[in-house]
Structure 1
């Protein structure tokens, strides 16, 4: 009896185990395997370019057409100053005046001498005329007539000398008034009222308003591509101007090893004498390559850079890294060449999320510059 019960219990346990195993197998068959997820990347197509525009900036200095130290041609004491630093003046305007009292006194003395000479000259002429009449009657010798003629000639020479001295005196008086040689702005006053100045000492620095020019040094090879009269782009501070090349230097600066350009700015250019100016120069370099955004590049080895290229793999793409060289950069773009071909797809952003050999899908299609 006990053996029959034990056998029945064992048979029941085996049946339960078999049912449990069958149930587990059915549960495994009902669970579907999860689908594999591939990363999606943004990609663009490599467009071949036969050349690229190369831009450079060369610096220089703004100079007015004329920057002149204006002063008297005579030494003397400054009696009047009619303008000061920052004042605008026009051509012919009086800027300063010297003390002319000594010159006026000298002028009065010269006129008095001239009047005395005139009186002596009138007397000499009258005396000579009477002597000529007496000579006809034999009362005056030839020696006396020669002496009277010599005296008359001497007085006439003295008159000419006094007239010339009066003209010189008047010229000194005129030059005691300092006039603006051209229209411009007084940038600096050097001497003060009442100061005694030496001959030729400048009183003001005058800067011409018009004909503002920039003097810019460029390499020899760049100067050979430019011509007089050519329009160029010039930058002063953050303002761009269409300027004209007025002249190209004929010699090389021994220090900077550059050729100096003289560039004329527009008459309404808002610039100050001495400011820095920059010549924008662009030319084409005939080197083939591809434009890509800088975000599509990552550091490589031995001075090279890497770009991630998408190689078709079934319905997806495999990521490959290629070595490239950066030839030129412009703002956020780079002109490259290397182990890439035209029309290949490359990853243009998000490189930090990728590794070589990874299988990805393409998110979007944009064309590189």
Structure 2
């Protein structure tokens, strides 16, 4: 009896496999899920730009001939040297001041000894008080000269250090303003340094959406054919009277984006309302459109253009010809054409109990 059941099951599976193989030639195997309704914030899509949080021209703090400068596109770390100015005149000045310092230190040592001797003689009334006072005055002058020269030496050393221009923050050199061999003056810009590690997406948003923004709230960002969620980092507390907009900044740290890239951002524009949600995997992103594929009553794929709103975990709110309960394709729809026949991906499980 068991052998007969196994034979019948095998024959049924073979027949089913042949039927499915024939069907594969006509229908596309896909995975579907159901759209649903949920309370979300209505959103508006606005253009944004990727900017560096720190973008600064690095200027010279000393005068001299430019000996070396880092090339455009070079990534540098904070404190790394990016340009060098000739400092030979400063080194000569430093050597001269060191020599003067030694001379005045010798004067201080001599006058200190003289003061001790004159103090002993004065106590025995063997010298005039005026002579002791003159030595004390000369000693004070010599000590002040030592202090002044020590300060001048420190200033000269600082000037030498500033001939080695270093990066005040980590980033990339986007532009050079000078070339090797030029005479550089104080305050002249040398390079443009852009922080490529800490990026923002800047959006000029209408002022009426300000009440609906929340710190660190995740919003949708479309870049090329990618859809990502980024947190709201900060926004301006004052708007422009001309454009009636204010700046909103999203944190884009760690993303492979170039400063200056254009994106579009979905920001909340109203209070919470009921919206239709579909799985994020249902979205098909193209350069000029976003759409999903639904399944009609004839098991055919139907293309529906949508506007994407707020993301909630693995789901995202949309606006379009989609209702709660509609089947949407979440797998296998990348190359599926509208009107093409589909079949749902279901596991066929045969369970036979043998006694």
Q: Same fold (TM over 0.5)?
A: yes
Post-superposition offset of 1:221: 2.4
User: For structure 1, which runs of at least 5 residues remain unmatched after alignment?
Assistant: 1-48, 289-328, 336-369
Contact 2:196 2:259 in 1 (8 A): no
Distance 2:273 2:153 in 1: 78
What is the 5 A alignment of 1:84-233?
84-233=71-220
Distance 1:52 1:173, change over 3 A: closer
What is the 5 A alignment of 1:55-94?
56-81=44-69, 83-94=70-81
Post-superposition offset of 1:210: 1.7
Aligned to 1:36: none
Contact 1:242 1:266 in 2 (8 A): no
1:51-95 CA deviation, whole Å, 9 max, x = no partner?
A: 9996531112211121111123223321222x2101111121111
Distance 2:209 2:108 in 1: 76
Post-superposition offset of 1:121: 1.9
Contact 2:84 2:163 in 1 (8 A): yes
Contact 2:212 2:270 in 1 (8 A): no
Which sits farther off after the overlay, 131-140 or 255-264? Answer: 131-140
Larger radius of gyration: 1
Distance 1:275 1:145, change over 3 A: same
Which of 243, 251, 265 is residue 279 of structure 1 equivalent to? 265
SS of alignment partner, residue 175 of structure 2: strand
Post-superposition offset of 1:139: 2.6
Aligned to 2:3: none
The CA RMSD measured in Å over matched residues stands at 2.9
SS of alignment partner, residue 216 of structure 1: strand
Contact 1:241 1:266 in 2 (8 A): no
Distance 1:285 1:121 in 2: 80
What is the 5 A alignment of 1:242-281?
242-267=229-254, 269-281=255-267
Post-superposition offset of 1:237: 3.0
Corresponding residue pairs, total: 245
Which sits farther off after the overlay, 197-206 or 150-159? Answer: 197-206
Post-superposition offset of 1:146: 0.7
Distance 2:42 2:119 in 1: 98
Aligned to 1:362: none
Distance 2:139 2:40 in 1: 91
Post-superposition offset of 1:286: 9.9
Contact 1:243 1:266 in 2 (8 A): no
User: For structure 2, which runs of at least 5 residues remain unmatched after alignment?
Assistant: 1-36, 275-304, 308-318, 323-355
Post-superposition offset of 1:176: 1.3
Distance 1:127 1:225 in 2: 81
1:134-175 CA deviation, whole Å, 9 max, x = no partner?
A: 223323111111111101111111111111111111111111
